[in-house]
Chain A
């Protein structure tokens, strides 16, 4: 718990074993009795952090109507930083770009958290009767993770709030009471400009 808080706030590179042991009230020697390496600790800390967050989202969205449940999940996820207890930060949004360079165990655990998040949202989009429920859930997850990542880069609170509010609104718009066929529109939208790579492939 102490480790995941330090990691999520300061990032993987900046966190040394000494910071974690200090936060947890352990000695350096004590650390190696519990963990083989910093990587092993990071993997477990990420797993624990994402479990805590998702357990919370699951509990607080239980028993709600599907639209309400999704909006609740989005609001809680987007405002994860406002939680008194920074133990509820999502590794995907807090460590996103760093996880890519981490070892395979850490990556596998991050992907596991991502999959669980998509499933949590998809269970609700399915209840809403959206045909592409898991695809929409996947995109909602991208929007939420992107918004939190960006809001944490914002230099002032107003800018951060704008990013979070717009993401929440976008989720609401995606769930707007449109006939199912409207969702299908995107499924048959024109193919992207795949051939148009003249500038990219110099």
Chain B
């Protein structure tokens, strides 16, 4: 490739990665092309040399966001047994906002309702990303030997997306934490309640009957939503 072509490709990449962060944190409607170009350190006029429309950029930014997220999950669970891999996925998904960099935010939980109003191209990338997330979880529920592994994975993803969406509306940090923690624990209950042919998870999550254990393990008990 000639130097100018390499430069163009790199600039394009930079716009996409900047766009994906800005969209995920500020929303689609509130983010203008100018905001993204400024954040990427470029002039607004250059935008149309790279993209036909804002919608095209949203679609590519969406795809890039899902790629990042999936790569992160795959690195994090590599070599782990299924129960542990699932727990890692669930924990990291639920705590995506605690990463310092918005690079691992999921479009489904951060742009959910806005994506519905986007164009077909954007909707197709959203569907694709959603299916990748379900497959990622389903691969682990399958390894756990669950007959209805795809259905369980599907429900787990709904819980995760709902919890992160709601936690972002929460007024205070403790409500936020409670929503995420309860979602995590319910996923664990769900994994136990789901019909299983073999159940290696049961060994790990065996019942502890005495309450001192709960005390010791702190942090993982279900937490009440503070009311009022």
Contacts and interface: CB of A to CB of B under 8 A. Distances in A.
B185 A189 contact: yes
A40 interface: no
Interface stretch (B5-13, B40-48, B189-197): B189-197
Contact of B185 (A13, A135, A167, A201): A135
Nearest to A8: B113
Contact of A185 (B101, B116, B207): B207
Contact of B155 (A12, A145, A170, A186): A170
Contact of A150 (B27, B108, B171, B186): B108
Given A97-B165, A142-B166, A107 B151 contact: no
Contacts of B76: 196, 199
Contacts of B30: 13, 101
A43 B56 CA distance: 32
Contacts of B123: 153, 155
A109 B100 CA distance: 29
B162 A97 contact: no
Interface residues of B, number: 81
Interface stretch (A23-31, A51-59, A64-72, A172-180): A172-180
A49 to B, nearest CB: 14
A127 interface: no
A146 B101 contact: no
B190 to A, nearest CB: 6
A153 B108 contact: yes
A11 B113 contact: yes
Nearest to A154: B127
Contact of B222 (A95, A132, A149): A132
Contacts of A154: 127
Contacts of A182: 189, 192-193, 207
Contacts of A136: 182, 186, 222
A169 interface: yes
A146 B165 contact: yes
Nearest to A115: B227
Contacts of B34: none
A103 interface: no
B50 interface: no
A101 B113 contact: no
Nearest to A181: B207
A118 to B, nearest CB: 6
Nearest to A175: B193
Interface in B94-142: 98-101, 104, 108-117, 123-124, 126-127, 130
Contacts of A138: 178-179, 182, 225
A100 B24 CA distance: 12
Nearest to B215: A188
Contact of B171 (A92, A98, A111): A111
Contacts of A6: none
28 contacts: A10-B117, A92-B165, A98-B29, A101-B26, A101-B27, A107-B169, A135-B182, A135-B223, A136-B186, A138-B225, A142-B159, A143-B162, A144-B162, A146-B162, A147-B162, A149-B161, A149-B165, A150-B130, A153-B115, A153-B126, A155-B124, A166-B151, A186-B189, A186-B205, A188-B221, A199-B75, A200-B98, A201-B99
Given A114-B166, A188-B214, A188-B220, 20 more contacts: A11-B117, A13-B117, A14-B29, A96-B112, A97-B111, A98-B113, A100-B27, A118-B225, A139-B159, A142-B159, A142-B186, A143-B162, A147-B155, A147-B158, A150-B130, A181-B209, A184-B207, A185-B206, A186-B222, A194-B219
